[in-house]
Amino acid sequence: MYLAELRGRTEPIRVGVVGIGRMGRGVVDQVSTMPGMRVMAAADLDLGRAEACLRENGADPLVTDELGPAQDALRRGRPVATADANLMPQLDLDALVEATGLPEVGARVAADAIENRRHVVMLNVEADVVVGPILAERARRAGVVYTLAAGDQPGAIFELAEWAQTLGFEVVCAGRGTVLFPDDHHATADTYREQAERNRNNPKMYCSFRDGTKSQTEMAAVSNVLRMPPEVRGMHEPYSRWQDLGRVFSLENDGGILGSKGVVEMANAIDPDGRYVHEDKVFPGVFVVVTSNHAGVRSSMGSMFEPGFGGTAQQWGPNWGLFRPYHLACVEVPMSVARAVIQGRPTGDLHGGMVAELIAVAKRDLKPGDELDGAGGYTVYGLSERYQVAREERLLPFGFAYDGRLIRAVARDQALSWDDVETERSGFLYELRQEQDRLFA
């Protein structure tokens, strides 16, 4: 799609990556193989990691936290490695990829980049579900793009949904696959520590995937872009094979589980007996379930859906599950960079206020004095809830559950409210959220 434009550039697109973990490093690696694009700056608290990712991809970076020397290096075509994330938005770059996964850091980096008229590609969905709408609005005013990333599940869902809607289909449901065992919501960083370390993953980050927080975060972001809420708190998340998507995620009177159209969902690979079913699972893929009222379109769809693709009921509708069996995470992120720089277009256009809120829920019985520790920790997991419900019940957005302490007891699996906690209400993330709430009130 962008190959000719990239090959024809006299100067490559200059990219900065903030957060050189598994995802950020993957972006740097992928860009190194591409025409017309180059990572010119990398930032990580572990400075050695930022430097190594550039050196191991053939660069000789200047290592500095100072703006002047960094700008001089970039003017000479020399990449920069830094431990200071706040330096990155000031550098002469075309786009920044934010991949730290920390809401406070991500919000600050994105806001500063937008102020300096840099495009922002957010792998930091944790920040997006707290302040994405205000960042997107600021970007529009500044004439730049704020976007979630291609390759991550939300980006892959956006692309599939846009394809379907462009063709005139109604999207009944949009979602992704997941793997959630019955007690995984209560998992801690210790539960899967051995497995995480064997895979060279941070145990807390790994736990945020296993306890369901990460997938719930991503689906809250999908809700806000597609304007499609979760039907119930945390979604139904039933077991489903990919062949059954069109049947399972249909209205109840069509034999499905849904009470309404236009919602987000997840298809679990764990069956009702608690067994992981590898065959025909939706995870790690994404899907949309579509329908059409046009008799001719229904006839065409019915003739092209083979019986093996979900059986006779799926073949003839009224709903069809369209399934992409993979997402390539960091590998596809540069597509969002190219789309932003070349076309001025986001991967999923976030307009308006929030439709869904990621809320904090107790992993265990919490007592006054307990310290909150965020995603993948020992105290809370995240669930997606309709924004209006969260607002009316004063539920605590998950982005504010990374620190602070309990001032009231909260039972296991109960949602936390602002009244239950004493937490930071003066940092940048909080101030930005207050501005967002006022703007979209």
**With a threshold of 0.85, does the pTM exceed it?**
yes
Beta bridge partners of 230: 264
Q: What average pLDDT score do residues 109-126 get?
A: 98
Instruction: Give domain limits for the chain.
Output: 3-151+330-343, 154-328, 356-439
Q: Are 234 and 216 in contact (CB under 8 A)?
A: yes
Residue 42: predicted pLDDT: 98
Q: What average pLDDT score do residues 97-107 get?
A: 96
Residue 305: predicted pLDDT: 74
User: Which tokens go with 437?
Assistant: 């709430």
138 vs 309, which has greater pLDDT? 138
Q: pLDDT-based confidence at 161, cuts 50/70/90?
A: very high
Residue 309: predicted pLDDT: 53
pLDDT at 65 over 70: yes
Give the domain 356-439 fold: Type Iii Antifreeze Protein Isoform Hplc 12 (3.90.1210)
Enter the CATH code of domain 3-151+330-343.
Answer: 3.40.50.720
pLDDT at 45 over 90: yes
Residue 339: predicted pLDDT: 97
Q: What average pLDDT score do residues 267-295 get?
A: 96
Q: Across all residues in the chain, what is the average pLDDT? A: 95
Q: Among residues of the chain, what percentage have pLDDT more than 70?
A: 98
**Distance from C-alpha of 360 to C-alpha of 234, rounded to nearest angstrom:** 11
Residue 312: predicted pLDDT: 47
pLDDT tens digits for 178-218? 999 999 999 999 999 998 888 878 889 899 999 999 999 99
pLDDT at 308 over 60: no
Residue 314: predicted pLDDT: 58
pLDDT at 315 over 70: no
312 vs 36, which has greater pLDDT? 36
Q: Are 13 and 37 in contact (CB under 8 A)?
A: yes
pLDDT at 400 over 50: yes
| Nearest one of 214, 185, 274 to 22, comparing CA atoms | 214
Q: Are 173 and 258 in contact (CB under 8 A)?
A: yes
Residue 24: predicted pLDDT: 97
Q: pLDDT-based confidence at 423, cuts 50/70/90?
A: confident
pLDDT at 259 over 50: yes
Residue 30: predicted pLDDT: 98
pLDDT at 311 over 50: no
Residue 429: predicted pLDDT: 96
